[in-house]
Amino acid sequence: MGKAVNVDWSKLGFGYMKTDFRYVSMWKDGQWDEGKLVEDNRLTLSEASTALHYGQQCFEGLKAYRRKDGQIQLFRPDQNAKRMNSSCRRILMPEIPEEKFVDACIQVVKANEDYVPPYGTGATLYLRPFMIGVGDNLGVKPAPEYLFCVFCVPVGPYFKGGLAPVNFTVAEYDRAAPYGTGAAKVGGNYAGSLLPHELAVKKGFADCIYLDPATHRKIEEVGAANFFGITRDDKFVTPKSPSILPSITKYSLMHIAKEYLGMEVEERDVFIDRLDEFKEAGACGTAAVITPIGGIEYKGNLHIFYSETEVGPVTRKLYDTLCGIQFGDVEAPEGWTVKVK
Ligand SMILES: Cc1ncc(COP(=O)(O)O)c(C=O)c1O
């Protein structure tokens, strides 16, 4: 490692901190430029950029992990590239070649290596790739130019306490419309979630659960994470819907549950009035990792799963295997980890 950075790894939460370099590439006249690392963390844009007025932007989130041997690896960056391109197609932005996306992430991690937290602290380097429509434009139409950037920030747990259960309440608002943009990682979905999130926190919950927008009977998302439940007969169950963001962590856990833990896996409807079928439940995502769900409040009742204070045994096994793979302690399925250094 080069210079020492002044970060207390054990105290990190999920907050912004300026690191040394970020990657920037411009799309103009039908093509991406070569892209470069820059030190300035500010962008200069036309006031008429579509990203500012019409929400033409999308983003991703993935992490770099420091292994026990000091090497650094990314977890499934190709999946983030694919998901970003599917977001781009939904809102008419140019796709970014998968190799360019992964190369940009690797360049950013290498250039900010000193900010990759040491192995054993539980902290990681979070990467935030994003694309925005820029350039002069007034009517509601796609932008003439696009900016693709990747910056990084060292982070600790998303929800306070790391692997500790937290409670959620069911939101009265929807995060996505049927046939809308729920499956795309676009900023508009998140703007709409700010108020329900704040209302949940004011009521003493970590975040809110969103139900399906058409019938309000089925669980879709847990804040900015996907839901999973462990049935009384040990099946891993997670909701299926076209308006859920397809979580890379969730699909990884489905594979882990089946191939590493020998569990049956089901992607299907999860009804909010049938939570009793689960003995454990959790939220999963890059930022949330696995956050055990202590209980869910719905219509004034708090349904407790395993415990409000203890982590269930299946949730713990899933967590240990997932983190083991991400930090290089457990052998990963072919192609899941990409060495940075
Ligand atoms: C709405 C939403 N759902 C789920 C997830 C989890 O997805 P992933 O596991 O790919 O991070 C995220 C985070 O990216 C999210 O923002």
Please tell me whether residues 173 and 150 are part of one structural domain: no
CA-closest residue to ligand 1 atom 16: 224
* Nearest residue to 60 via CA among 287, 276, 313, 309: 287
**Does residue 212 sit within a domain?**
yes
Query: pTM score > 0.95 for this model?
Result: yes
**Does residue 331 sit within a domain?**
no
Q: pLDDT per residue over 124-137, tens digit each? A: 999 999 999 999 99
- Check if 224 has its Cβ closer than 6 Å to any atom of ligand 1: yes
Q: Ligand 1 centre and the CA of 315: distance in Å?
A: 18
Q: Which domain holds residue 194?
A: 166-326
Q: Ligand 1 centre and the CA of 60: distance in Å?
A: 9
CA-closest residue to ligand 1 atom 3: 225
Tell me the sheet residues that pair with 289.
285
Please tell me whether residues 191 and 319 are part of one structural domain: yes
Q: Is the pLDDT of residue 227 over 90?
A: yes
Of the pLDDT bands very low, low, confident and very high (cuts 50, 70, 90), residue 5 is confident
Question: How many domains would you assign to the chain?
Answer: 2
Please tell me whether residues 180 and 296 are part of one structural domain: yes
Q: pLDDT per residue over 56-70, tens digit each? A: 999 999 999 999 999
Q: pLDDT per residue over 119-175, tens digit each? A: 999 899 999 999 999 999 999 999 999 999 999 999 997 776 678 999 999 999 999
Domain harbouring 140, CATH code: 3.30.470.10
- Check if 286 has its Cβ closer than 6 Å to any atom of ligand 1: yes
Of the pLDDT bands very low, low, confident and very high (cuts 50, 70, 90), residue 2 is low
Q: Is the pLDDT of residue 1 over 70?
A: no
